[in-house]
Structure 1
Amino acid sequence: MSLAVLFAAIVGAAVGASAGYILHNYIASKRLAGAKDLAERILDEARKEGQAQRKEFMLQAQDEILKLKKEMESEFKDKEAEFKDLAADLKEQEREVKKREARNQEKEERYEHKAEELNSKESELVAMEKRLSRLERKIVQREEEIDELERQKLSKLEEISGLTAEEAKARLIDEIESQTRHDAAKRVRQIEMEAKETADRKAKEILATAIQRYSGDYVGEQTVAAVNIPSEDMKGRIIGREGRNIRAFEAATGVDLIIDDTPETVVLSAFSPLRRQVAKMSLERLISDGRIHPARIEEVVKKVEQEMDVKVREIGEQATFDAGVHGIHPDVVKLLGQLQYRTSFSQNVLQHSLEVASLCGIMAAELGLDVKKAKRAGLLHDIGKAVDHEVEGPHALIGADLAKKFGESKEIIHAIAAHHEDTPPSTVLAILVQAADSVSGARPGARKELLENYVKRLEELEGIATSFEGVSKAYAIQAGREIRVMVDSERIDDDKTYLLCKDISKKIEDNLTYPGQIRVTCIRERRAVGYAK
């Protein structure tokens, strides 16, 4: 039983194994067939996709080739044009080279011709040198003969005159030098006399040039006044809409109003110190009031002018009272008051006039003259400076005309006109005014000059004058504006005195620094003294 069962079991197991193997092979063959179909489909799709990508790549490659072809063609055309231009330039350069070669050929031919001419001239020069050498030998021989004759002549002259050649030469040189200096002095005097005929014209030209070069700084100091303003906004209000305020102000005052970048400051410019003062006071009042328009400007300016008239008159009356001068015409009193706003070399002209009046009075009292008349002339001597910016001419003559107009005496008029020698002084009063004016203007400190510098300048001035041979004494007068030089009449004649004056003036110009000019006066006199018994 057990064996049969075991066999049957074995047979069943073998049959099951066979059936399982057959079933497994069937399933595997089915799967293999499906895998092959799938692989074929994938391969077909890959082939199709590859072909499409290949076509696309081919199209892109063709486009790139066309693009490169066009670029190469364009570049080729550009290069071709450049080559054509280069060829044209080369042809032009070739033509220019040929022209230069032709010119060089012509030059070579000319040079050859010149070389031939030079060779011929050289031969001529050689012949001429030979002739000159022969002439030179003859000249040397002739000079030796002349020298021998001169020596013989000189020895005979020395024997006849009793002087050696050196002594005779020295005497001759002295005589020639003396005669030359004498002729030079005469010539200089003649030239100066001719120059004086055109002195006025030349002086005007020089003054005009000097004014053009120097007037900037001087006018900036003497003809402007600065007015401070509270803020920069005030400048716009001063100018006004479309500039109407500034135009109205300038028209009412006659003064230029300058508004620039200077912070919180405006500038008033005018030659007339009185107008400048009126404009300054008017502008300060307008700024303080704040109401700035044309009608208000005219009102304020008119009011300030009236106040200034009163103030100027009061200043003039006070000056006449301080000087002790009375009976002066009211218009002249007003002009005196205007001198308060006038300066000369930084010195106030009204104060200077009071000083001159005082000095004139003192000197007149010492001389026993009319003190009141002397003070009057001293007080009025610079009255022309009140209007010299409006009237042409020297202030002394302008003042004399004003004094004559307002009924002053002839002595006063002459003293005013002569105090700067515009008119030669012919009275004692004129001399007193001239002296007092010099003392007031030239005293140390009056015009910003230190005492030490003042004294040193006078000493140097006298030292320069006495350093010349033939000068016996020298005196600096007029506070250094003039130097009087006394010369020895035995050693220096009239013509040499004239030259000495020029030499001293030149040395002063070279060695000293001074304002204005210094007058050099050389005095030569011969005195004969006799006694009657």
Structure 2
Amino acid sequence: MSIEIVFLLVGVAVVAGAVIGTILRNRISGSQVAAAKQTASQILTEADKEADIVRKEAAIQAKDALLAAKAEWEGEAKEMRRELQAQEKRLLQREENIDRKMTQLEEREGALSRREKHLGGQEDRVKELESEVDKLIAEQTRRLEGLSGLSAEEARQQLMANMESQARHDCAKRIKQIEDEARETADKKAKEVLALAVQRYAGDYVAEKAVSVVALPSDEMKGRIIGREGRNIRAIEAATGIDLIIDDTPEAVIISGFNPVRREVARISLERLITDGRIHPARIEEVVQKATEEVDNSIREAGEQATFDVGVHGIHPEVIKLVGRLKYRTSYGQNVLQHSIEVAFLCGIMAAELGINVKQAKRAGLLHDIGKAVDHEIEGSHAVIGADLARKYGESPKVVHALAAHHEDEKPSTVLAVLVQAADALSGARPGARREMLETYVKRLADLERIGTSFKGVTSCFAIQAGREIRVMVASDKVSDVESHVLAKDIAHKVEGEMTYPGQIKVNVIRETRAVEYAK
């Protein structure tokens, strides 16, 4: 064949293949579409069935929910009906109670009305009886006035005077009886009162007399004073026997203790440690030792200076130290060492006037309070302790007795003992000795005398013993012996109510009867 024929055959074959392929594809597509339609028809049929099932289930669930809601509503409705019925029942009961109470109130009102009418009638009857009684009293009064010869007012005044006199007499007897009973228990009661007073006043006294304050350059120094784990502060307290209080007070440390000498040693030691800056247990012991020696020297020098100023010699060195220790003691704000020197000079002046041994008097006056230097360490009063110390260190028996008797621990039996007692009272009671201004002192004396003379029957009044005693003179024809006790009580009560004073004031009422005749 020729090439054209071959090409022609090939072309015919290609065309025929294309036509056959198209026919085959059309046949295949038709079968697929039919299958797809059949599948879709099946899916729709199944979907309808499932939809019917879902609709039926939803309808069933809706019916169930409706039934449950209906049952719940019916239950709530029943509960509400029960509550309403209960409330209705309670309201009915309340109405019944109110009705019953109203009935009772009406009955009470009726009873009160009847009583009111009855009381009105009784009131009228009482008024009639009162009128009759007044007439009877007036008639009886006229008869009594006629029989006694006194008017009603005069009789009343006389009766009141008699009753007042009898009452004052009975009161005076009762007061004397009470005083006699009180004396039997006075010692016990006095101790209780003193203990209570000391307890209530101890706070201010301790704050002033048992505490010293040391200033610090800064608050950082508090930590150095305390030391690691508190070893420094424990070392200071152990070495001095004094408590250190480190609190929130800015730039200050409080030294607390009742022993004034130890407190002074602690103060000096702490100030030196702060200045030096080296604070550790070994250094603390060294500084405390030096401060103790310095304070001992100061005490000895103070005692020697006191004996030199007074002009007494030959006193035992230990007694001189005791005198020096009084430099750190106070009594009612008065320095005991200065007080002892003053007593020594007063004793010397009075001894010179009486012509007895001046040196011995000054010696007893200077040493009379040495018991106060150790009375917190030894039991007993400072007068007895001082006498024992004086006897121990070779003082004469007269001086020892004067020391023991200056507060009546022993009965004074020598002129020297009385001199020391008087000088001690003068030094403590003089104006200004115990932080009291002269104007206040003089005003207190004037007030005491004014109060004493304000009572009826008092002829004169004197404030003595630096205001510690008020002596009242009364007229014997106006105040009886029994009434003098009442007068003393009245004056004491008025002094307590109107005045402020230290200690106590003795009220001494003196009544005397004098018989005077003239020989002509």
How high is the TM-score relative to the length of structure 2?
0.74
> In structure 1, which of residues 354, 360, 363 is the aligned counterpart of residue 341 of structure 2?
354
Structure 2 residue 466 is matched with structure 1 residue 473: no
Listed as ranges, the matches of 1:214-233 within 5 Å are 214-233=201-220
Structure 2 residue 332 is matched with structure 1 residue 340: no
> In structure 2, which of residues 434, 438, 445 is the aligned counterpart of residue 458 of structure 1?
445
String of CA shifts for 1:386-407, please: whole Å, max 9, x gaps.
2344456654454455456656
Q: Secondary structure at the match of 1:453?
A: helix
> In structure 2, which of residues 449, 465, 475 is the aligned counterpart of residue 488 of structure 1?
475
Q: Secondary structure at the match of 1:267?
A: strand
Q: Which amino acid aligns with 1:243?
A: G
Q: Which residue of 2 aligns with 1:371?
A: 358
Q: Which amino acid aligns with 2:371?
A: G
CA–CA separation in structure 1 for the residues paired with 2:85 and 2:391: 95
For residue 274 of structure 1, report the CA deviation from its aligned partner: 0.6
CA–CA separation in structure 2 for the residues paired with 1:472 and 1:212: 42
Deviates more, 1:478-487 or 1:138-147: 138-147
String of CA shifts for 1:122-141, please: whole Å, max 9, x gaps.
44455555555555555444
Q: Contact conserved, 1:185 with 1:498, CA < 8 A, in 2?
A: yes
Structure 2 residue 502 is matched with structure 1 residue 515: yes
For residue 296 of structure 1, report the CA deviation from its aligned partner: 2.4
Q: 1:482 to 1:107 in 2, by over 3 A?
A: farther
Q: 1:234 to 1:148 in 2, by over 3 A?
A: closer
Structure 2 residue 172 is matched with structure 1 residue 185: yes
Percent of aligned pairs with the same amino acid:
64
Structure 2 residue 159 is matched with structure 1 residue 164: no
CA–CA separation in structure 1 for the residues paired with 2:306 and 2:359: 14
Q: Which amino acid aligns with 1:173?
A: M
Q: 1:321 to 1:97 in 2, by over 3 A?
A: farther
Q: Which amino acid aligns with 1:252?
A: A
Structure 2 residue 264 is matched with structure 1 residue 277: yes
Q: Which residue of 1 aligns with 2:485?
A: 498
Q: 1:119 to 1:395 in 2, by over 3 A?
A: farther
> In structure 1, which of residues 262, 268, 285 is the aligned counterpart of residue 255 of structure 2?
268
For residue 242 of structure 1, report the CA deviation from its aligned partner: 1.1
Structure 2 residue 310 is matched with structure 1 residue 314: no
Q: Which amino acid aligns with 2:435?
A: K
Q: 1:96 to 1:345 in 2, by over 3 A?
A: farther
For residue 252 of structure 1, report the CA deviation from its aligned partner: 1.0
Q: 1:151 to 1:450 in 2, by over 3 A?
A: same
Q: Which residue of 2 aligns with 1:296?
A: 283
For residue 289 of structure 1, report the CA deviation from its aligned partner: 3.7
> In structure 2, which of residues 431, 435, 453 is the aligned counterpart of residue 444 of structure 1?
431
CA–CA separation in structure 1 for the residues paired with 2:461 and 2:249: 53
String of CA shifts for 1:274-321, please: whole Å, max 9, x gaps.
111111222233334433221222233233323433432332233234
CA–CA separation in structure 2 for the residues paired with 1:323 and 1:176: 65
For residue 326 of structure 1, report the CA deviation from its aligned partner: 4.4
C-alpha RMSD of the superposition = 3.7
Structure 2 residue 305 is matched with structure 1 residue 305: no
CA–CA separation in structure 1 for the residues paired with 2:288 and 2:76: 82
Q: Which amino acid aligns with 2:264?
A: Q
For residue 243 of structure 1, report the CA deviation from its aligned partner: 1.0
Q: Secondary structure at the match of 2:433?
A: coil
Q: 1:387 to 1:141 in 2, by over 3 A?
A: same
Structure 2 residue 232 is matched with structure 1 residue 245: yes
Q: Which residue of 1 aligns with 2:141?
A: 154
Q: Which residue of 2 aligns with 1:21?
A: none
String of CA shifts for 1:238-286, please: whole Å, max 9, x gaps.
2221110110110110111223344443221111111111112222333
CA–CA separation in structure 2 for the residues paired with 1:409 and 1:343: 27
For residue 358 of structure 1, report the CA deviation from its aligned partner: 1.1
Q: 1:123 to 1:449 in 2, by over 3 A?
A: same
Deviates more, 1:483-492 or 1:224-233: 224-233
Unaligned runs of 5+ in 2: 1-74
Q: Which amino acid aligns with 1:256?
A: D
Q: 1:166 to 1:339 in 2, by over 3 A?
A: same
Q: Which amino acid aligns with 2:439?
A: E
Q: 1:468 to 1:239 in 2, by over 3 A?
A: same
CA–CA separation in structure 2 for the residues paired with 1:325 and 1:92: 113
Q: Which amino acid aligns with 1:451?
A: L
Q: Contact conserved, 1:438 with 1:479, CA < 8 A, in 2?
A: no
For residue 440 of structure 1, report the CA deviation from its aligned partner: 1.5
Q: Secondary structure at the match of 2:266?
A: helix
For residue 337 of structure 1, report the CA deviation from its aligned partner: 1.3
Q: Secondary structure at the match of 2:471?
A: strand
Q: Which amino acid aligns with 1:267?
A: I
The count of aligned residue pairs is 446
String of CA shifts for 1:218-246, please: whole Å, max 9, x gaps.
32221222233444443332222111011
String of CA shifts for 1:66-121, please: whole Å, max 9, x gaps.
xxxxxxxxxxxxxxxxxxxxxx9999999999878766665654554444445444
Q: Which amino acid aligns with 2:241?
A: G
Q: Secondary structure at the match of 2:476?
A: coil
CA–CA separation in structure 2 for the residues paired with 1:303 and 1:393: 33
Q: Which amino acid aligns with 2:204?
A: D
CA–CA separation in structure 2 for the residues paired with 1:341 and 1:386: 9
Deviates more, 1:476-485 or 1:170-179: 476-485
CA–CA separation in structure 2 for the residues paired with 1:205 and 1:106: 68
Q: Secondary structure at the match of 1:308?
A: helix
CA–CA separation in structure 2 for the residues paired with 1:143 and 1:382: 80
Structure 2 residue 163 is matched with structure 1 residue 176: yes
Q: Which residue of 2 aligns with 1:69?
A: none
CA–CA separation in structure 1 for the residues paired with 2:189 and 2:427: 31
String of CA shifts for 1:342-384, please: whole Å, max 9, x gaps.
1223321101001011111211222233434432332222223
Q: Contact conserved, 1:259 with 1:267, CA < 8 A, in 2?
A: yes
Q: 1:198 to 1:119 in 2, by over 3 A?
A: farther
CA–CA separation in structure 2 for the residues paired with 1:122 and 1:333: 99
For residue 472 of structure 1, report the CA deviation from its aligned partner: 1.3
Q: Which residue of 2 aligns with 1:32?
A: none
Q: Secondary structure at the match of 1:469?
A: coil
Q: Which amino acid aligns with 2:149?
A: G
Q: 1:155 to 1:404 in 2, by over 3 A?
A: farther
Q: 1:331 to 1:172 in 2, by over 3 A?
A: same
For residue 468 of structure 1, report the CA deviation from its aligned partner: 1.9
CA–CA separation in structure 1 for the residues paired with 2:457 and 2:313: 53
